[in-house]
């Protein structure tokens, strides 16, 4: 095929893409909408001021001191006290609070008698971050109260207050995060999810395009997708999608990250070297999968259904060591898995590109494998509809 014919094929692909409203809505609307809506829950970096109530069965001066300490932490906010656990559970079911603290009877007496005391916590565990925040706040307050009581006992025994504190805590702990300086969610969750959004939207728009063309082929329409050679068609389609999604990638990893104050440690060129094989691999996979759709709507249903499994198996939200080995192996078939791991190490952890080159190699292998599969399926479709490739 001559260059003129190839460019003519590219023009036809562009016209097909921009003539489909579903593709335009998914591509432009989806990319922009997700860049605004998804990071909003993480904009404060960490969960704060989770609303809880207290069930105080002791009603002593020490239980009131604990309540003040719990309310003073930045993690929790006590909205009130209730008489029973049943009342607290009812408030959770109504969505008024996220958890509750139970202070047992004889709390003050047992502490003064050096008996072990158990504080009970209940909450809506369907929100992992909020539940963890409540637990952290109560543990901090309980630990502080326990330390105060033990130091007070030492001072009663005529120990110097400074010496008593040193005996209670002989070594101080200074935690310094290496990569995630703010200990928040935004810096590591959002860049990884941006990769997933790019993949899923590209798979959807490619599937919509192929699915609609398959519908037209069944209606006996002899479009250019049936007359062009499979290799030329794949090259033209991948060229168009790569050009469009490189712009979207620059928007995501340039403007969007700056807007949310997400750290960028990698050079722009290193990010591009990882993104180009990623986008090409996704484009080839999208063309291959698209040949299996008989209707344009099928693409959206299939890809959206797979989003959560792909997200959780990619290894940045849930530890890989806790994911079944077979699921980890399957997740390697998706380009987003290698791209997410490579980007997080490169851009958020400051790794040198040589340290993530194996991810680039994996993406290149996927690109060639999915390109070969796409060409085979395109050729099969052309034979199926009895149209000779030129």
- Identify the pLDDT of residue 165: 52
Q: What b/e sequence results for 338-355 when a residue is b if at least 16 CB atoms lie within 10 Å of its CB, and e otherwise? A: bbbbbbbbbbbbebebee
Which tokens belong to 34? 């997700």
- Identify the pLDDT of residue 78: 92
- Identify the pLDDT of residue 113: 82
Low-confidence ranges of the chain (pLDDT < 70): 1, 41-46, 151-185, 386-390
C-beta of residue 206 within 8 angstroms of C-beta of residue 368: no
- Identify the pLDDT of residue 143: 79
C-beta of residue 87 within 8 angstroms of C-beta of residue 166: no
Q: For residue 71, count CB atoms less than 10 angstroms from its CB and return exposed for 0-12, middle for 13-18, buried for 19 or more.
A: middle
Phi, psi (5° rounding) for residue 117?
A: -125, 135
Give the span between the Cα atoms of 315 and 300, in whole angstroms.
24
Give the span between the Cα atoms of 203 and 3, in whole angstroms.
27
* pTM greater than 0.85 (yes/no): no
Tokens 């105080």 belong to residue: 56
All structural domains of the chain? 3-42+184-388 (no CATH), 50-167 (3.40.1710.10)
Phi, psi (5° rounding) for residue 173?
A: -105, 125
For 19-66, write each residue's pLDDT tens digit: 999 999 999 998 998 888 877 766 665 677 889 999 999 999 888 999
Q: 4: helix, coil or strand? A: helix
């Amino acid at each position: 095929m001559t260059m003129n014919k190839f460019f003519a094929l590219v023009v036809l692909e562009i016209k097909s893409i921009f003539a489909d409203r579903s593709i335009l809505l998914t591509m432009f609307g989806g990319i922009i909408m997700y860049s605004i809506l998804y990071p909003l829950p993480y904009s404060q970096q960490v969960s704060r001021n989770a609303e809880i109530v207290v069930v105080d069965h002791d009603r002593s001066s020490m239980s009131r001191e604990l309540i003040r300490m719990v309310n003073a932490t930045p993690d929790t906010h006590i909205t009130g006290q209730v008489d029973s656990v049943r009342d607290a559970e009812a408030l959770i079911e109504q969505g008024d609070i996220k958890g509750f603290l139970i202070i047992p009877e004889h709390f003050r007496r047992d502490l003064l008698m050096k008996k072990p005391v158990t504080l009970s916590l209940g909450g809506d565990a369907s929100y992992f971050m909020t539940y963890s925040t409540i637990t952290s706040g109560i543990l901090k307050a309980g630990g502080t109260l326990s330390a105060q009581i033990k130091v007070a006992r030492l001072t009663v025994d005529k120990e110097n207050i400074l010496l008593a504190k040193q005996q209670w805590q002989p070594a101080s702990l200074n935690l310094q995060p290496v990569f995630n300086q703010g200990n928040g969610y935004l810096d590591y969750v959002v860049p990884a999810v941006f990769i997933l959004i790019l993949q899923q939207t590209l798979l959807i728009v490619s599937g919509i395009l192929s699915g609609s063309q398959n519908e037209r082929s069944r209606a006996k329409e002899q479009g250019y997708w049936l007359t062009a050679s499979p290799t030329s068609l794949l090259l033209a389609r991948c060229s168009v999608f790569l050009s469009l999604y490189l712009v979207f990638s620059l928007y995501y990893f340039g403007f969007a990250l700056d807007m949310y104050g997400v750290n960028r440690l990698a050079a722009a060129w290193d990010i591009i070297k990882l993104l180009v094989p990623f986008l090409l691999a996704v484009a080839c996979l999208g063309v291959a999968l698209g040949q299996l759709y008989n209707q344009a709507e099928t693409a959206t249903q299939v890809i959206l259904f797979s989003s959560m499994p792909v997200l959780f198996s990619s290894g940045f939200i849930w530890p890989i060591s806790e994911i079944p080995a077979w699921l980890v192996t399957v997740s390697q078939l998706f380009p987003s898995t290698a791209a997410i791991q490579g980007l997080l190490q490169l851009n958020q952890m400051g790794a040198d590109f040589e340290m993530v080159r194996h991810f680039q190699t994996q993406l290149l292998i996927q690109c060639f494998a999915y390109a070969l599969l796409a060409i085979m399926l395109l050729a099969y479709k052309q034979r199926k509809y009895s149209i000779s490739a030129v």
